[in-house]
Amino acid sequence: MDSTPGDDRPQAETSSRSSRSAAKPAKATSAASGAKGTRRRSAGSAARSVGPAPRRVRPHPAGAPLLDVDAMLDTERIIVCCGSGGVGKTTTAAALALRAAERGRDVVVLTIDPARRLAQSLGLTALDNTPREVAGVDGTAGGRLDAMMLDMKRTFDEIVLAHSSPERAEALLANPFYQSLSSSFSGTQEYMAMEKLGQLDATGEWDLIVVDTPPTRSALDFLDAPTRLGTFLDGRLLRLLLAPAKAGGRAYAKVLGAGIGMFTRVITKVLGAQLLMDLSQFVAALETMFGGFRARAEETYRLLGNPGTSFVVVAAPEAAALREASYFVDRLDAEGMPLAGLVVNRMHHSDAVALTVERSLAAAEKLDEHGEHPLAAAVLRIHAERVRLASREARLRDRFTSAHPDTPLVEVEALSEDVHDLAGLREIGYALARVERLERAG
């Protein structure tokens, strides 16, 4: 995803998006299986709205359930893509979002990956904390695609402004401890991701929210956000630091016991009286504000476990990536989260299955012996290496399916070049949905 955007069309303004949404005909709804209604769409009309590109569909691996991507896109309310770094997770999230939009749904894709690859894929020069409509999406079926990247500090600021009095908000935003916590404190990103997901869901503006999570095992850290936040707010150290603000400066020593008083005297000597007061005031503000945030985070956690939400694990056909995928599947199962299935990206195949590695190398050696057709010999060796690679990837995939026989999966064949525009994302979408077309339309 390192290529520069190939689409220089301007972004649509928010007002334009709102008027467009208002002008659209009302959409049919059906009863949701989750906490909120899930707007569903006719798969037949949706299929007509998406023109498939040339693509050959490979046989699905025997014994592995097939992940029905289009059925998921047509019915779900939230799709969370998780996986290790470098496996095409961001591309997969963007491709799913684009395909759902072009099947007629109103979609927003949220990335909390600090790398800005998603912006390149969607032809945007930048993503910020505000969903912005993506230009170039086929809206024939009535859908649209918005995209945004989580701005951790801005989300934190929005919480402060929304849930504090103007005076308290002004003091907190200027507090040095708040400024540090809101921009770099470990775990803040996951807290804010939970908050932003809850905000997007609460608006009811979109049929589908696609979440692209950070790489490595931290991709599931947002599941722990409510518990870790509660532990932080209820912790003994935080209570000690809160004492100066509650007891009125120096008077806190009389309120606390002798042992705690000694602790605060040491902290005062280390930090200084003013710094300790700044810290205690910051903690006091946190206590009043984050009770509501904790409740909202817990509600979002429950939302992730509801019907209408699906987790998609993304992996490459490599040993390390599939080990991480296995971890994600086990973790989601332990958390009781709804797993849709596994996407295996960048699979390699060989069409000349009868030409084995041994036969290819033997033929190449014979050509070398006679000094004939060096180019043909080189092609035979390349073919042998590709067959080896395809066999190794198939073995790794089969090892995963043996460990998780009930997990649906879908394979995406390796492309000849990186995806850097909407056309490339459509190709990924066709592959995910297993759309076959042998000739290009038109």
Q: Dump pLDDT digits (tens) for 224-246.
A: 766 666 666 555 555 555 555 45
Q: Please name the helix (run of DSSP H) or strand (run of DSSP E) that holds residue 264, with its range, or none.
A: helix 258-271
Question: 372-425 pLDDT, tens per residue?
Answer: 788 988 888 888 888 898 999 999 999 999 999 999 999 999 887 878 889 999
Report how far residue 368's alpha carbon sits from residue 372's, in angstroms, rounded to the nearest whole number: 6
Report how far residue 410's alpha carbon sits from residue 131's, in angstroms, rounded to the nearest whole number: 29
User: Which tokens go with 70?
Assistant: 């289009």
Q: Alpha helices of 32-187 — where are they, by DSSP H?
A: 43-49, 69-75, 89-102, 117-121, 152-163, 166-174, 176-184
Report how far residue 196's alpha carbon sits from residue 20's, in angstroms, rounded to the nearest whole number: 24
Question: 160-196 pLDDT, tens per residue?
Answer: 888 778 887 888 888 877 787 777 665 677 777 888 8
pLDDT given for residue 154 in this prediction: 86
**399 and 322 in contact (C-beta within 8 Å)?**
yes
pLDDT band at 40 (very low <50, low <70, confident <90, very high): very low
Tally Cβ neighbours within 10 Å of residue 188.
18
| More confident position, 216 or 307 | 307
Burial class (CB in 10 A: 0-12, 13-18, 19+), 317: buried
Length of the chain: 442
Residue 416 DSSP code: S
Report how far residue 148's alpha carbon sits from residue 415's, in angstroms, rounded to the nearest whole number: 26
* Cβ partners under 8 Å of residue 338, min gap 6: 305, 306, 307, 309, 310, 311
Return the CA Rg of the chain.
26
How would you write 146-206 as a 3-class SS string? EEEECCHHHHHHHHHHHHCCHHHHHHHHHCHHHHHHHHHCCCHHHHHHHHHHHHHHHHCCC
pLDDT given for residue 213 in this prediction: 83
366: pLDDT strictly greater than 70: yes
Backbone angles phi, psi at 306, to 5 degrees: -80, 155
pLDDT band at 105 (very low <50, low <70, confident <90, very high): very high
Return the CATH number of the domain spanning residue range 69-245+265-353+393-440: 3.40.50.300
Residue 56 DSSP code: P
Backbone angles phi, psi at 245, to 5 degrees: -70, -35
* % of the chain surpassing 90 pLDDT: 31
Average pLDDT, the chain: 76
Report how far residue 67's alpha carbon sits from residue 70's, in angstroms, rounded to the nearest whole number: 9
The pLDDT of 324-328, averaged and rounded, is 92
* CB contact burial 379-400 (16+ within 10 A = b; e otherwise): ebbebbebbebbeebbebbeeb
| More confident position, 374 or 429 | 429
pLDDT given for residue 114 in this prediction: 54
The pLDDT of 127-150, averaged and rounded, is 90
Backbone angles phi, psi at 172, to 5 degrees: -70, -40
Residue 371 DSSP code: T
Report how far residue 347's alpha carbon sits from residue 318's, in angstroms, rounded to the nearest whole number: 10
Cα-based angle 14, 18, 22 (whole degrees, multiple of 5): 170
pLDDT given for residue 430 in this prediction: 94
Measuring CA to CA, which residue among 201, 391, 159 is closest to residue 308? 201
pLDDT band at 143 (very low <50, low <70, confident <90, very high): very high
pLDDT band at 127 (very low <50, low <70, confident <90, very high): low
The pLDDT of 77-83, averaged and rounded, is 94
